[in-house]
Structures are given as structure tokens and as C-alpha cells.
Amino acid sequence: MGQITLNQITKSFGDVQVIPPLDLQINDGEFVVFVGPSGCGKSTLLRLIAGLEDTTSGEINIDGRDATEVPPAKRGLAMVFQSYALYPHMSVRKNIAFPLRMAGLDKAAQDAKVEAAAKVLNLTDYLERRPGQLSGGQRQRVAIGRAIVREPAAFLFDEPLSNLDAALRVNMRLEISELHQSLETTMIYVTHDQVEAMTMADKIVVLQAGVIEQVGSPLDLYHTPKNKFVAGFIGSPKMNFLMGGYAAEFDATTIGVRPEHLSVSATEGKWQGKVGVSEHLGSDTFLYVDIEGLDEPLTVRSSGEVALRHGDIVHLTPDPEKIHRFDNQGLRMA
Amino acid sequence: MATQHSRSAARIMMAPAVILLLGWMLIPLTMTLVFSFKRYLPLRGGDLGWTGFDNYVRFVSSSAFWPSVQTTLIIVGGVLIITIFFGVLLSMLLDQPMWGQGIVRILVIAPFFVMPTVSALVWKNMFMDPVNGLFAHLWKAFGAQPIEWLSDLSLFSIILIVSWQWLPFATLILLTAIQSLDSEQLEAAEMDGAPPLSRFAFIVLPHLSRAITIVVLIQTIFLLAIFAEIFVTTSGAFGTRTLTYLIFQRVLESQNVGLGSAGGVYAIILANIVAIFLMRIVGKNLDT
Amino acid sequence: MARSVTTRRKTINTAVAWAIGFLIFFPILWTILTSFKTEAQAINDPPLFLFFDWTLENYAVVQERSDYMRFLWNSVIIAGGSTVLGLMIAIPAAWSMAFVPSKRTKDILMWMLSTKMLPAVGVLYPIYLLFIQLGLLDTRTGLTIVMMLINLPIIVWMLYTYFKEIPGEILEAARMDGASLKEEILYILTPMAIPGIASTMLLNFILAWNEAFWTLNLTAAKAAPLTAFIASYSSPEGLFYAKLSAASTMAIAPILILGWFSQKQLVRGLTFGAVK
């Protein structure tokens, strides 16, 4: 079981309130990702759930039990830290066994669990090494192994992939997703990378300045962002925003169009512009098109190769079904 | 950043150290303050009642007071000048490329680890003894009359001994500081056409200023309190009675605790003035 | 980038540095050499440097005085005991300051440092009196406590600077893994900080070993350590140079060796981290 309910929790450091009253429901077995720009309070929120920070007010409920005052070790949660936080003076085996040792398990039971976890994580050959002798990905797996053996109610991940290089990050992302599918345990994952959020989450929680902007499935957020912030944060490349006359035409203060929802034509279209930079990725082409009256160029994503270059005149047409309208508060209009 | 739980744990774990040091500081300090306002002669009647500021006045007006302050300042000042001057030279020399740098370092640092009583005794007997000391042999070899170091040149001799003990400390700290100097700065200055002496004056010395300040302050604290060197060599005779030694004599030799305590309060005030400066510097460093 | 220099320049550097190093080390060397001479050779005119009849007799004599071993033993107990005791009190305190810093942490650290600056002579008599009252005068216990107290600020400071280099996340991981505070300090922090703790121990052992004010004033016959033993030679004893040298050598040799190992930490410890 791993159901976590946050009830009107707040957190202040001194006079600064970093998290205003916040409610959140995390269901058993869910993969929840907290995402937001740095300083949005997502790590603080995770640490509140872990018990590494005190809540200033409000209640944290784990599996129907009030855990607000319960020390971290007694909450039945396991955490994987950004720096992995492996114990450098212990072998991999001892690292993974440490929570079991603290729980007072006998040696044989410790060994059995460590071996099992090592097998799942492909660490069997490295059990006698020290963390210092492992690669980044292996260290990450040891940290996960240390979490798995505790059989926690929920796993907490604090930006676990940010210290890995790009290729490894994709691998570990898959491994964590697979782990979630096989364990079916609740996982709470903090990241600033919306790609990680989109690819891994059952439920994404978008945070800004300690406030939850929106909670929903990845595709919910993609298709119906509640406000401009979520619209701009989710999706890559970023959504284009147009204001003034361009928006007025649609009875909105601002309209948003995703780069993949703009079609390009050399001859006719709704908006005319000039190609600034074009990026050719092979599978896709990104065009940055300067349009009169707009401060920033519009980003266009076309699949395949597009033979357009700097200075070419193009015409862009948005898919009318896929235009997002926002009012003067930045909120989504129906 | 931490939880209430760990904060209260932290307070509990800090308590023994804080309470012990608080006791160590406050109890004797209070007693010293109380004694300083009393006529207190343990061997001649014990506690003879309050005397107001009598002890303070007597301590300052005694014929031994000003000479002892003077002696203290001469020793502290002399040792500081010698150790810093030679410390800078030596640390710059040790920073140069050479063979066996590690061994030279070990040789240079060694005196710091010699206990003060041993170094005082070795210098007193084996070097400065006017009959059998090595210096006496050396002087005789050149046909000169051996010097009575500890009676004729007593202050100089003490400064020499103490400087020998503290030169390693100054050198080691200055060397550490020099090694942290970015050599590109020196190369840039060289490119700009600065000759070696200007490079030293405008780049090396300013870089060392902080380390020098720290050496001055830390050594001052220890030097104000030097005791064993005087105790072993001259026992305060021949004009080597420092403030510390004078207080020691008042308290333990003439058993005038009230008078000695008043002197102790003066010494504490003196040390505090130095301490305030040191704390400023160390405190600043904490933030970085 | 270190610049290459001419061999000539390097040779001159080496010669000058070795000469100065030798000069500074000479009093110690001379003491060690003299300890191997007979008393007559020790005061021979002209002085004998290497060509004399090397003898271990002085060491045997000093050793034979049964009390030498007792002084040595007192030194070891007092320096070692005060260091261990100090660490036991300082490790939790340094943990608190390094990992649970509050607004007052810096003030407390500075205040601790300030107690170190209290001139000992100012409080000599009160301590003397307290020692008589508590029956601590001329006891190893009493001296161990005093040594611990005068070095405690340095121990706390050194440990604090070492602990601060350990990432807090590792301790949090231990906390999540179910370690109690005691287990966290015992199984995670202490093993990780072993190098720092070792150099702190070393430096404090040296400082306590060489401390001469309190050891001279608070001990008589029973608890006197080597500082006091050596001081008893201060009366004119020209005829006993060789034995004095042997005793001195035995008093400083262990600490000299320890000191050479800890010279780097010395800078850090004695400047309270202000010079690294």
C-alpha cells in the first residue's frame, strides 16, 4: 500500500512561505512526477513527504495514518537522492544491506534480499566494490537497490538522473519505468525536465512558486493545459504564444499554438514570415520564423526534411482545432 | 534546514561541550574577579576582607608592573618581527623548485613539536651555557670572550629561543598561503614588465597580508602567555619578568592571591583586545 | 603551471634551503647526537660532532630511573585521555553545528574560540583552589580534564571544518534508511570523517603533550608528565648534558614523528580554518 494524502500543508523558512496551503492526493501504485522550474518548491515538497523537513502546518497522511510528526525512518518510504548519497566507506553489498541492518534483520535474511535486489538491478558482479569504483549509472542502481530492499510503501526520487549523461539518462529512465511496472509500488519523482515527466508519469503535478498549477495525466496536460504556465512548460519545443491582433482574432488575450500544430507552405497561409534559423534533425525540421509584429520568432516543427533556409519567405497556418486560448489572467478559455 | 526533531537533537548534543566550556570560563573567571577585590593571603591569614580597587591600584603602581609590561611587549614584538620577517623569506624559498623539498620542510617544521621545557633547557645548557655551551666554544674558537647569554643578553636570548620555536609555525602558514597564489597573476605582472621586487611588493605581499595577520594574532595570544621558557631559563630574573610571570609570582610564590588576581584581570583585558581582532578575521572567513 | 627553471637555479635553491633547514634543525640534531656521547665527550672542547664513542648508556640510565617511565606514562595518559575525552564531547557538538546550523551556530563557534584566548595565568589560582577542593591536584584525572577543556575549542573547530565537507544528503539517506541519530553518527559520519578525526586527534595529542603551564603548576610528584620531568633538570647540571639529551630525545621523539605526519592539518587546526 502506498496512498499519500497532503492536506492543507504549508512550509515556511523563517518568514518566507515557500509552500502556501497545498492539497494533493497520491493513489496507491501511481507514478507521480513533480515538475517545475528550479526553486518551485518541488524538492521541498518531496522532503516534506519524506519527513526530512517539518511541515509548518497541515497534515500528511500515509495509508490512512497521520504521519506528519512521524520521523523519516518510520514512514515506510525510501528515497533516492540526486547525489545518490551512497555510503562511500561501505561496499555495494553493505550499502544495500544498510536499511535491513538498521531494521535488525538477521544476516542470512539480509544477504538473501541483497542478492535478489542485485539480480534485478544487474549489480551481482559489483557487490564487493566500493561506490567510488562504480560508474554513474551503477551508482544510481545501487541507490535504487538500497531503496528496493526496504519494500517501502512508496519510493521518492529527487532528480535522480540529473547527474548522468544524456544517453545514460534515457536508459535509466526506462529502467525506472520498468521497475515501476514490475513492483507496482507508488513512486514520487521530482524533476525539472518535462521530458522525464511526460515519459514516466501516470500523473504529473506542475508546480510554480510552491503552488500546484495543474495535476493530470501527461496527455491531459498536453492537450488541455489549465493556464499559460503549464502550456509553456509542457511540450518540447515550447508552445508559441501570440498576443495582440493575432489573439484578438480568436477572442482571446493570448493564443498558444504548439510547433507541431503549424503547417508550412511556401505559397499561402494565414501568417507570413521569414525563416531565421532552421535546424535539421533528420526526422524533424525545426524552423524559427520571424513574423511581423511578434517579439519572438515562431517555432515550427515539421516532420521529415524541409528544404527551407535562412531568409526564405514562408506562410504558416495553425491547426484550428489545436489552438489554445487564454484570457487576460493567463487562464484557459473554454 | 532540518526538522524540529533534529534541531532539538542538535541542541542536546551541543550541550555538553557548551556547558563544560561555559563552566571552565565562568567559574574561575568569577573567582578571579572576586579575589581581585579582596585582600587574600592564603598563608598569612587567608581571606582578609574586601579592599575595593586596592589590588588594582597596587598592581599597577608596583615597581615591577611597568617593566613587566615592557618586557612582555619587547618579547612579543621581537618574536613577531623575527618570525614574520624570516617566515616570509623562508616560505618563499621553500616555494621554489628544489630537490628534497619534503625533507627541508620536515627539518624546518621540527622545532614546533619540541615541548617548550625541552627547548628551553637545550638552549640554556647546550648552547647558551657560558662554559660548556656550543656558543661559548664557538666564541672561544675565534678568540672572543664567551657571552653570558642568559644574564647579559637575557631578553635577546629568550626572544631567540621563542623565535626558534615559532618560526616553523609562521613559515608553514605563510607557505600554505603562498602556494595558493595563482602563478598566472605573477606571470601577468611579469608580462606587464614588473621587476621581481615590485612583483613581491605588489602581488605576493598583499596576497600574504591575511596570512600574516593571522600569524600575528595567533602568535600574540600564545606569546602573551609564554611561561615555560622563562620558568626554565631565568625564572624571571635579569629583566625577563613578563606580565604572565609577574602574576604567577604574585599568586604562587608570594601567595598574594588578591594582588595576583587583579593582575590576572589586566592580563585578561589585554588578551581580549587581541582576541577581538582575531575573531573579526576568523569570523569573516566563516562566511566564505 | 609550474615553470621550468634552470638546473643552476634549482641547485642554488636546494643548497640554500638545505643549509637553512639544517641550521633550524641543528639544536634538535645536536641534542640527539649528544645523547649518544659519554658525559665527558658531551662537554668536550672542541665539540665532537660525529667522531666519538657512540653509546646507549645514557638511555639505559634514564630508563633505569624508574620514574622516567612513570612521567612518560603520565604524558601518554594525559595527552591520550584528554584527546579521546575531547573527541567524545566534540563529535556530537560538531555534528550539530555542521549539519543542523542555526543562526547562533557561528556565535557559539566564535565564543568557543574566545575561551581559548583566556590567559591561563588569570585563572590559575581559582583552578588551583578548585583542584585542592575537589582533590584533583596532582592527579592524572585532573590534568586530563584541564587538557581536554583547553583543547576542546580546537577539537570542535577542526571537526566542524571536516564535517562540513561531508554532503548532508548522505546523512539524510541514513536517516531514511532507518538509522537512529546514534547509528547515523557511529556508522556513517564517523567512518567517513576518519581522516579528519585522525588528524584532529594527532594535533591535540601534540598540543596536550607539549602543554607546560598547567602541567607545571598543577602537578607535583605523582601526576607529573614529561614537561615537568624535563623541567626538573633546570638547575645547573653541566655534567649531565648527555643524560639530559637522552631524556629530551625520548620526550620529543614520539611527538616529533607524530607532528611530521600532521603538519598539513596543523595549519588548518591552528588557524581555525582561516588558512587552508
Residues of chain A positioned with their CB less than 8 A from the CB of C175: 52, 71-73
Q: Which of A107-121, A144-158, B231-245, C132-146 has the lowest mean pLDDT?
A: B231-245
Residue B256 in domain: yes
Mean of pLDDT over chain A: 89
Nearest to A142 by CA among A158, A165, A166, A126: A126
Between the alpha carbon of residue C161 and those of residues A5, A148, B179, C97, C168, the distances in Å are: 40, 34, 20, 10, 14
pLDDT over threshold 70, residue C1: no
Q: Distance from B268 to chain C by nearest Cα, in Å?
A: 6
Taking CB atoms and an 8 Å cutoff, what residues of chain C touch B270?
119
- Domains of chain A by start residue, with CATH: 4-231 (3.40.50.300), 240-326 (2.40.50.140)
- Provide φ and ψ at B192, rounded to 5°: -75, 0
Query: Is position B155 within any domain?
Result: yes
Specify if B22 maps to a domain.
no
Residue A266 CB contacts under 8 Å (≥ 6 apart), including other chains:
A308, A312, A313, A314, A315
Distance CA C94, CA B10 (A): 9
Cell numbers for A25, please give them: 492526493
ipTM: 0.82
The 10 Å CB-count burial string (b at 16+, else e) for A187-204 is bbbbbbbbebbbebbbbb
Backbone torsions φ then ψ of A188, nearest 5 degrees: -120, 125
**CA–CA distances in Å: residue C185 to residues B7, C188, C191:** 15, 6, 9
| Residue C238: predicted pLDDT | 45
Helices B257-287/C124-133 angle, 10° precision? 110
pLDDT at C274: 63
Query: A21 exposed, middle or buried (CB, 10 Å; 0-12, 13-18, 19+)?
Result: middle
Chain C contact set for B27 (CB, 8 A): 126, 130
Mean pLDDT of chain B: 83
Cα torsion angle, C108, C112, C117, C118, sign: positive
**Separation CA C65–CA C250 (nearest Å):** 13
Neighbour order of strands in the sheet with A203-208: A77-80, A154-158, A186-191, A31-35, A203-208, A211-216
pLDDT at B1 over 50: no
Domain coordinates of chain C in residue numbers?
A: 7-57, 66-234
Q: Which residue has the higher pLDDT, B38 or C264?
A: B38
Predicted confidence (pLDDT) at residue C4 exceeds the cutoff of 70 = no
Helix (H), strand (E) at residue C85: helix C66-99
Q: Which residues of B touch A53 (CB under 8 A)?
A: 1-3
Across the range A9-30, mean pLDDT stands at 89
> How far apart are alpha carbons B198 and B248 in whole angstroms?
48
CB atoms within 10 A of CB B96: 15
Nearest residue to C148 (alpha-carbon basis) of C126, C107, C116, C111: C116
Give me the pLDDT at residue C49, please. 75
Residue B278 has pLDDT above 50, yes or no: yes
Q: Residue count of chain C, please give it.
A: 276
Among A73, A83, A150, select the one facing C175 at the smallest CB separation.
A73
What is the Cα B73 distance to its own chain's centre?
A: 11
B129 vs B77, which has greater pLDDT? Answer: B77
Nearest to C263, CA basis, from A236, B110, B275: B110
| C66-234 CATH pick, 3.50.50.60, 3.30.470.10, 3.20.20.70, 1.10.3720.10 | 1.10.3720.10
3-state class (DSSP) for residue A206: strand
Q: Is the pLDDT of residue C178 over 60?
A: yes
Average pLDDT of span B31-38: 85
pLDDT digits (tens, 9 = 90+) for A72-97: 888 889 999 988 889 998 999 999 99
B9 touches chain A (CB under 8 A): no
Q: Measured at the alpha carbon of residue A85, what is the angle toward residues A80 and A87, in degrees to the nearest 5?
A: 125
* Strand pairing class (A154-158; A77-80): parallel
**CB-based contacts of A175: which residues, under 8 Å, 6+ apart?**
A141
Counting DSSP H helices and E strands in chain A, the numbers are 9, 18
Q: Looking at the complex, report in whole angstroms how far the Cα of residue C86 sits from the nearest Cα belonging to chain A.
A: 24
pLDDT surpassing 90 at residue B151: no
Cell 535486489 belongs to residue: A117
- Do B246 and C211 contact (CB within 8 A), yes or no? no
The answer, yes or no, to whether residue A322 has pLDDT greater than 50, is: yes
Report yes or no: B35 at the C interface, CB cutoff 8 Å.
yes
Lowest mean pLDDT among B181-195, C11-25, C151-165: B181-195
The answer to whether C17 contacts B104, with C-beta atoms less than 8 Å apart, is: yes
Cell of B177: 598561503
- The percentage of chain B sitting over the pLDDT mark of 70, rounded to a whole number, equals 97
Tell me, yes or no, if B119 comes closer than 8 A to chain C by beta carbon. Answer: yes
Mean pLDDT of B61-83: 88
What residues are paired with B61 via a beta bridge?
none
Quickly state the pLDDT bin for B81 (edges 50, 70, 90).
very high
Return the partners of chain A (3 or more C-beta pairs < 8 Å).
B, C
In order of A212, A222, A255, A256, C65, the CA distances from A330 in angstroms are 15, 16, 10, 11, 93
Q: Count the domains in chain B.
A: 1
Neighbours of A321 (CB within 10 A): 6
- Give the closest of C14, C24, C34 to B167, CB-based: C24
In the chain, the amino acid numbered A92 is V
If we measure between CA atoms, which residue out of B27, B5, B24 comes closest to residue B16? B24
Question: Higher pLDDT residue, A61 or B278?
Answer: A61
Tell me the residue range of the domain where B279 lies. 55-287
Lowest mean pLDDT among A5-19, C59-73, C76-90: C59-73
Residue B10 touches chain A, beta carbons under 8 Å: no
At residue C66 the predicted structure's pLDDT band, cuts being 50, 70 and 90, is: low
At residue C38, what is the residue type? T
Q: Which long-range contacts link C13-19 to residues 24+ away (Cβ below 8 Å)?
A: C13/B93, C13/B96, C13/B97, C13/B98, C14/B98, C14/B99, C14/B100, C16/B93, C17/B93, C17/B94, C17/B96, C17/B98, C17/B101, C17/B104, C18/B100, C18/B104
* Average pLDDT estimate for A211-228: 92
User: Cβ C245–B126 below 8 Å, yes or no?
Assistant: yes
pLDDT grade for C148, boundaries at 50, 70 and 90 = very high
Q: With a cut of 90, say whether residue A239 has pLDDT above it.
A: yes
pLDDT of C275 > 70? The answer is no
Which whole number is the average pLDDT over C99-128?
Answer: 83
Rounded CA separation B266/B243 (Å): 9
Q: What is the pLDDT of residue C271?
A: 66
DSSP reduced 3-state for A271: strand
User: CA B125, B126, B131, B135 torsion: positive or negative?
Assistant: negative
Kindly state the average pLDDT of the residues C200-216: 85
Please determine, for residue C235, whether its predicted confidence score (pLDDT) is greater than 70: no
Q: Residue A237's closest CA among A332, A295, A301?
A: A301
Q: Which of A287, A59, A42 is nearest to A156 (CA)?
A: A42
Interface of A to C at Cβ within 8 Å reads: 50, 52, 71-73, 77-79, 81-83, 85-89, 98-99, 102-103, 146, 150
Is there a domain that residue B189 lies in? yes
As beta bridge partners, residue A265 has A315
> Which one is predicted more confidently, C73 or C63?
C73
Subunit contact A78:C176, Cβ cutoff 8 A? yes
Cell of A75: 514512514
Question: Does A90 reach chain B within 8 Å, measured CB to CB?
Answer: no
C-alpha to C-alpha distance for C274 and A182, rounded to whole angstroms: 53
Residue B186 has pLDDT above 80, yes or no: no
Top-confidence residue, B196 or A205: A205
Output the pLDDT for position B280: 77
How far apart CA B212 and CA A302 sit, in angstroms, is: 66
Confidence of residue A126 (pLDDT cuts 50, 70, 90): very high
Distance between CA atoms of A265 and B260, rounded to whole angstroms? 100
Nearest to A252 by CA among A331, A320, A173: A331
Closest C-alpha to A159, from A190, A201, A186, A132: A190
Of the candidates B17, B122, B124, the beta carbon closest to that of C93 is on B17
What is the rounded distance in angstroms from the CA atom of residue C159 to the CA atom of residue C92? 10
CB pairs under 8 A between B and C: 324
The stretch C94-105 carries a mean pLDDT of 87
What is the C-alpha separation between C271 and B279, in angstroms, rounded?
A: 11
Q: How confident is the model at residue B82 (pLDDT cuts 50, 70, 90)?
A: very high
SS3 sequence, chain B? CCCHHHHHHHHHHHHHHHHHHHHHHHHHHHHHHHHHCEEEECCCCEEEEECCCHHHHHHHHCCCHHHHHHHHHHHHHHHHHHHHHHHHHHHHHHCCCCCCHHHHHHHHHHHHHCCHHHHHHHHHHHHCCCCCCHHHHHHHHCCCCCCCHHHHCHHHHHHHHHHHHHHHHHHHHHHHHHHCCCHHHHHHHHHCCCCHHHHHHHHHHHHHHHHHHHHHHHHHHHHHCCCHHHHHHCCCCCCCCCHHHHHHHHHHHCCCHHHHHHHHHHHHHHHHHHHHHHHHHHHHHHHC
Q: Among A32-46, B101-115, B227-241, C93-107, where is mean pLDDT lowest?
A: B227-241
Would you say residue B288 has pLDDT above 50? no
Among A97-106, B138-147, C87-96, where is mean pLDDT lowest? B138-147
What are the chain A neighbours of C191 within 8 Å (beta carbons)?
Answer: 89
Q: Chain A: nearest CA to B127, how far in angstroms?
A: 51
Per-residue model confidence (pLDDT) at position C84: 94
CATH number, domain at B209? Answer: 1.10.3720.10
pLDDT of residue B145: 80
Instruction: Please compute the mean of the pLDDT values over residues B78-92 and round it to a whole number.
Output: 92
B162 pLDDT more than 60: yes
Tell me how far apart the alpha carbons of residues B223 and B37 are, in angstroms, rounded to a whole number. 28
pLDDT reported for residue C272:
64
